[in-house]
Structure 1
Amino acid sequence: MTRTVLATATATVAALVIAAPTASAAPHRVHVKSGHTSVTVAPAIAGALLSNGIAPIVTRPGKPSLTTVGHQPTLKATYPVTGGALTTSPLGGTIKHTGGLKFTNVFNGRSLEVKNFTIDLNKGSLTGHVAGTRTRVPVFKLDLSTAHVKLTKHGADATHVTLKLTKEAAGALNTTLNTKIFSTGLTIGTADTHPRF
């Protein structure tokens, strides 16, 4: 009787050990506490927007600034990171922000603002909440093939992530602003994100 119980218990423990995932199988997950993300508009895009009467306006608490790319002036927008969660191996998860970007057609007064951006590394996209609605839309596809990623004990740095306009965002901008300047896959610029754990 005792031998039977011991044999059964041993078999049960062995089965549990075999079935249970090892600690290394689950990616390490960390909560994002702070940081910032900067979006630099490609100079050619900035020029095309302005020449067609489309003014990009950074909304608070985002901060606009002027910078240069290849000795050409362009717009840079920096947004505070407010939260999210990341897995470090493999790199994935989300990074949440506050602030937004408002596009205004100065010829007809129409505007569209997208705010509170979320970077989703698992889906390779950046989404935003359309101001005045409950709708969140994919704004950019993230091209990570151009990115440089560095992980540290207290944060991560991903620089030169290429931003390409999604079909949904291009359609919404063209329709709302009554323009044809935006197209699917248009490279808007690059993003540098620096979340801190």
Structure 2
Amino acid sequence: MLTRIALIGISSVTAAALTTGPALASPATVHVKSGTTKVTVAPAVARALLSNGVAPLVTRPGKPGLAVVGKQPTLTAAYPVTGGTLTTDPLAGTVKHQGGLKFVNVFNGRSLEVKDFTIDLTKGNLTAKVAGSATRVPVFNLDTSTASVDVSKHRLDARKVTLRLTSTAASALNNTLRTKVFATGLVVGTADTHLRF
């Protein structure tokens, strides 16, 4: 009898906790104030692009650069973060950037530029506007399986997020530039994002 009463009491307390406790509280939202996202192109991809006459040009205020990965030279691009909103537990929301990336086929002069990147942590992708239009397209799918993410009260640091080219982006680039160098799921490189709240 005492055991039954105790179980009833525990069940009542548990039910009350589930319905009124912090488990159902909405996650806190933070506003992103500043930061930087740096993309490092996989060396093999950089070589494939250049050998096929495709030059990736970083547009302002993005900053191009060079790096060495596995003793191989490659290209980098850094973009300033301009805002966004996030929840840190669970990690979700959007991060907005300025700057862009213009792909030029030097063999035929054709080009395609995407800009104003937005990281969507809820959907797990990165979208961009197609220059000269209001169209926003998914450019990369974000693979965080090998990434490291550190979150504190006023900052978030995510390193080694893998960038996989979407089918939409691959088709648009191949068709516009008249090349076959881009493929769906191509691991273009990695991204490191450092945010301040």
Find the counterpart in structure 2 of residue 13 from structure 1: none
- In the alignment, structure 1 segments of 5+ residues that lack a partner are 1-16
> Percent same amino acid among aligned pairs?
69
Distance 1:77 1:94 in 2: 20
Per-residue CA deviation, residues 135-188 of structure 1 (Å, 9 max, x unaligned), is 000000000101100011111000000000000000000000000110100000
Q: How many equivalent pairs are there?
A: 181
Q: Which amino acid aligns with 2:55?
A: A
Does 1:155 find its partner at 2:155? yes
Find the counterpart in structure 1 of residue 68 from structure 2: 68
CA RMSD, aligned part only?
1.5
Find the counterpart in structure 2 of residue 93 from structure 1: 93
Alignment of 1:1-197 (within 5 A): 22-24=21-23, 25-197=25-197
- In the alignment, structure 2 segments of 5+ residues that lack a partner are 1-15
Distance 2:17 2:192 in 1: 43
Shift in CA distance, 152/131, structure 1 to aligned 2, threshold 3 Å: same
Q: Which amino acid aligns with 2:185?
A: G
Q: Which amino acid aligns with 1:143?
A: D
**TM-score, length of structure 2 as denominator length:** 0.89
SS of aligned partner of 1:78: strand
Q: Which amino acid aligns with 1:63?
A: K
**TM-score, length of structure 1 as denominator length:** 0.89
Q: Quote the offset at 1:28 in angstroms.
A: 1.4
Q: Which amino acid aligns with 2:177?
A: L
